[in-house]
């Protein structure tokens, strides 16, 4: 497969996954904002709930450049949903995914392109006032369902060739990055001090974290207990039967790279294998001993090295900052 075609398919799947992840995060933030909330004087200034989507995606600076002044829910939603100048907004991600799909119409099935094109046509006509009037949660559910639908169409219609593998690779690279960032912000950034990490945290915030990763029901089935930091860590980092856990993502990343790599690209397979082994043989107690923030930062650094190696070995050498800012 030509590297440009691999690049387009890889980023098509990353963009659609990023749109879904953003919808998940904004939906949970919106629901949490409806609960009684008061920032204590001792809390960090950015502990306001609507700062969460900006912190996780590394978009705080870009947001303040466009919307100076105090954070407001309307401004954050406009910026993260419909702002075409924000490359990580839902609008921008779906547009980019559609352009990638259009470029590679010969490499994907007609059903995939029709599904992606109809998604973009509906997204292009979206209006903030209409979204608010019909219900924000309904809109976010629509984005999630359409992302699921596209993956289902891909799984059900596409030949299991190299293109399919690059689509799967992009999906799980993006998903692993999102899970690590979200979990790190929850454990570390939003707490007033490092001494509070691992302490008692409000039930609703922990359940919101799990819901944003579709892991709340899994937690109740596995543990049947109160939500605790150690168990959340085990569920979202080490368990391979939770679809959005780091371990589950690395299982698929390593599997795809074992099929794609040859002698000239063995370093990508080695890096993926090393990261997979770290999760496969990891223990919750060791992670807590190291510090979850430090563990996740190490994971993200290694994932960044892996994505850089994937780019060198398989994808187009020159790509935009929009794409690398995971």
pLDDT in tens, 224-236: 888 888 899 999 9
Tell me what pLDDT residue 46 has: 39
Entry pTM: 0.88
The residue among 36 and 33 whose pLDDT is bigger is 33
Has residue 325 got a pLDDT over 90? no
Angle between the N-to-C axes of helices 136-157 and 162-184, in degrees from 0 to 180, rounded to the nearest 10: 150
- In the chain, % of residues over pLDDT 70: 87
Segment among 23-37, 192-206, 257-271 with least mean pLDDT: 192-206
Identify the pLDDT of residue 267: 95
HSE-up (13 A, CA, CB side) for residue 36: 0
Residues present in the chain in total: 326
Least confident range of 44-53, 119-128, 317-326: 317-326
Largest CA distance in the chain: 58
Backbone phi and psi for residue 273, each to the nearest 5 degrees, phi listed first: -65, -40
Q: Average pLDDT in the 274-291 region?
A: 94
The C-alpha atoms of residue 116 and residue 34 are separated, in whole angstroms, by 33
Whose structure tokens read 């190299």? 162
Lowest mean pLDDT, pick from 128-137, 151-160, 247-256: 128-137
Using one digit for the tens of pLDDT, what is the confidence trace for 73-121? Answer: 999 999 999 999 999 999 999 999 999 999 999 999 999 999 999 999 9
* Of residues 55 and 243, more confidently modeled: 243
- Choose between 187 and 193: higher pLDDT: 187
């Amino acid at each position: 497969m030509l590297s440009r075609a691999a690049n387009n398919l890889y980023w098509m799947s990353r963009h659609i996954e990023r749109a879904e992840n953003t919808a998940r995060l904004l939906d949970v933030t919106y629901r949490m904002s409806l609960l009684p909330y008061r920032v204590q004087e001792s809390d960090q200034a950015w502990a306001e709930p609507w700062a969460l989507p900006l912190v996780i995606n590394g978009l705080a600076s870009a947001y303040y450049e466009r919307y100076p002044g105090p954070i407001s829910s309307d401004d954050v939603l406009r910026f993260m949903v419909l702002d075409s100048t924000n490359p990580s907004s839902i609008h921008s991600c779906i547009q980019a995914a559609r352009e990638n799909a259009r470029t590679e119409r010969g490499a994907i099935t007609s059903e995939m392109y029709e599904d992606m094109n109809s998604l973009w046509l509906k997204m292009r006509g979206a209006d903030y006032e209409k979204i608010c009037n019909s219900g924000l949660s309904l809109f976010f559910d629509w984005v999630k369902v359409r992302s699921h639908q596209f993956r289902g169409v891909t799984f059900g219609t596409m030949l299991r060739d190299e293109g399919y593998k690059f689509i799967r690779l992009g999906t799980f690279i993006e998903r692993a990055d999102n899970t690590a960032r979200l979990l790190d912000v929850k454990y570390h950034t939003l707490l007033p001090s490092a001494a509070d990490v691992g302490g008692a945290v409000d039930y609703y915030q922990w359940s919101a974290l799990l819901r944003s990763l579709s892991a709340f029901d899994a937690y109740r089935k596995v543990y049947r207990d109160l939500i605790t930091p150690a168990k959340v860590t085990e569920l979202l980092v080490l368990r391979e039967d939770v679809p959005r856990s780091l371990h589950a993502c690395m299982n698929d990343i390593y599997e795809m790279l074992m099929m794609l790599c040859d002698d000239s690209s063995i370093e990508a397979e080695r890096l993926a294998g090393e990261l997979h082994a770290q999760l496969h043989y990891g223990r919750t107690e060791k992670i807590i001993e190291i510090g979850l923030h430090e563990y996740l930062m190490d994971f993200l650094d290694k994932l960044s090295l892996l994505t850089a190696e994937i780019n060198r070995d398989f994808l187009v050498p020159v790509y935009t900052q929009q794409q690398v800012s995971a």
